[in-house]
Structure 1
Amino acid sequence: MDLQTSITLLLYNLEFNNHFLGMNKRTVVIPQPSSFLEQYKTFSLRRARDQLLKLEWDIAQLQTIPSHTIEHHYQAINCAIAAWQMCDWVYAELNQSMRLEFPRERKFRDHIKAQCHWLKICRELADASKHRHLTDSPSPDISTLTVDVYVTPSGEEITQMFVYDGQAIYSTEQVMWGAHDFWEQYCDELVI
């Protein structure tokens, strides 16, 4: 099925659903197929700053979820992934002189890990959650900890999640905000 036919069917389905579900009709603007094909596949994320705002939103969500729940663990992984993916977004917007310094994205990633301890941790969490374990230069010092903090009167065990880097223990929020703050300052300095 070609793109124009797919768009037509999408619009028909939206109108059908709006009619039978009693939803207010909304005007749906679909870009012309030629410009549509040139769009990213990232919904509204277009620039590094957009990804940074997403990271900020992810961390805000993390803070609303009770830290002893599995949902908190899932959201912490989402935050780590978003923080580490910022490398891709920022690298894409580097100016020519920065590109000469970092001709390959791998070199840029290594530079970022050396500059920001929080992102070194996020890289470990993001890649380990994606691949189950790390095979590419894992840090033996970085790990996650789930600690039983107390038992409620009803017998429910309340756990707390932490990150350990071989020297100190950090809350997930501390790691994620540290990564966010690094990227915010980095983007400000690069004016991206």
Structure 2
Amino acid sequence: MNKEAKADQTHGRIDLSKMMQSGHPIAWLSKLSWEIAEAITHRDSNPAGRVYKSMNCAITAWHMHDWIWQFSDEEMKEQLALYLKVPKFKAIGDFSKAIQRLSPAIALCRQIGTAVKHVSLAHNRPEVSTHVVRFEDEYSCGYRVKIVDGDVEHLDTDVYTAALDVWSRIYVELEFPMWEAVYELWPEWQQG
């Protein structure tokens, strides 16, 4: 079999041999958590480092939907549809729209993460933008990224943390594989 025919047979399949992590959505929840912590603690005289950290957070937070979708069997997809209060999903696009309706933070991550990764957006929301601001406090100085949604301005890490919370809660509340590991990461959930 030639290389082109072999490539056609593998298109759209998950190839875990190319993953640098376990290739499981749990790894991506951990990655997002780590990226957010890096963005929060980043102090640098060069704003580019802080911007790149924000870009990574947005991309990971948005692409969680790909990972959860790809690793969900039909029963899990039915659970997702019930959780998101929609009829059965026909395709990932239905899941994408439903998760954005549930979470404004994930919708913002879609705008930013897709624009960063693919340059242009289908369904662009021109009222969403980002900008970098310099800050100084008594201990240090550095840069922050602000996400603007119309007249509302958010600190980027607040948006990413809200997205992480939504993804984690879905994972735990639907008891997807390894949900216990995610639950253990959030001790405040255990208090009620």
Q: What TM-score comes out, normalization by structure 1 length? A: 0.69
Q: What does residue 120 of structure 1 align with?
A: 107
| Equivalent residue letter for 1:137 | H
For 1:146, the equivalent position in structure 2 comes to: 132
Deviation readout 1:140-192 (Å, 9 max, x if unpaired):
22111234557xxxxxx975420011131111110110111111101112212
How far apart are the structure 1 equivalents of 2:37 and 2:145?
17
CA displacement, residues 121-157 of structure 1 (integer Å, 9 cap, x when unaligned): 11111111112232x001122111234557xxxxxx9
| Residue 166 in structure 1 maps to residue 150 in structure 2 | yes
Offset at residue 109 of structure 1 (A): 0.8
Q: Does 1:70 align with 2:53?
A: no
The question of whether the paired residues in 1 share the 8 Å contact of 2:130 and 2:148 is answered with yes
Distance across 2 between alignment mates of 1:59 and 1:72: 11
Deviation at 1:94, TM superposition (A): 2.6
The answer to whether 1:92 aligns with 2:78 is no
SS of structure 1 residue aligned to 2:18: coil
**Range moving further from structure 2, 101-110 or 75-84:** 101-110
Q: Which amino acid aligns with 2:115?
A: A
The amino acid of 1:181's aligned partner reads D
Partner SS for 2:22? coil
Structure of larger gyration radius: 1
AA partner of residue 67 (structure 2): W
Q: AA paired with 1:56?
A: S
Shift, 1:60, TM fit: 1.0
Q: 1: distance between equivalents of 2:57 and 2:112?
A: 10
Q: Report the CA distance between 1:71 and its aligned residue.
A: 0.4
| Structure 1 segments unaligned to the other structure (5+ residues) | 1-37, 151-156
Structure 2 residues not aligned, in runs of 5+: 1-14, 79-87, 177-192
CA RMSD in angstroms comes to: 2.2
Distance 2:26 2:123 in 1: 29
Letter in 2 for 1:143: S
| Aligned residue identity for 2:106 | L
Instruction: Spell out structure 1 runs of 4+ moving beyond 4 A.
Output: none
Compared CA separation, residues 145 and 67, structure 1 to 2 (3 A): farther
Contact between 2:50 and 2:144, CA under 8 Å: does it hold in 1? no
Check whether the contact 2:16–2:22 (CA below 8 A) recurs between aligned residues. no
Q: Which residue of 2 aligns with 1:81?
A: 59
Residue deviations 1:36-81, cap 9 Å, x none?
Answer: xx74311223211111011101111111212772101001000001
Q: CA deviation at 1:99?
A: 3.5
Q: 1:121 to 1:67 in 2, by over 3 A?
A: farther
Percentage identity across aligned positions? 27
Correspondence for 1:188 = 172
Q: Distance between the aligned counterparts of 1:61 and 1:159, measured in 2?
A: 13
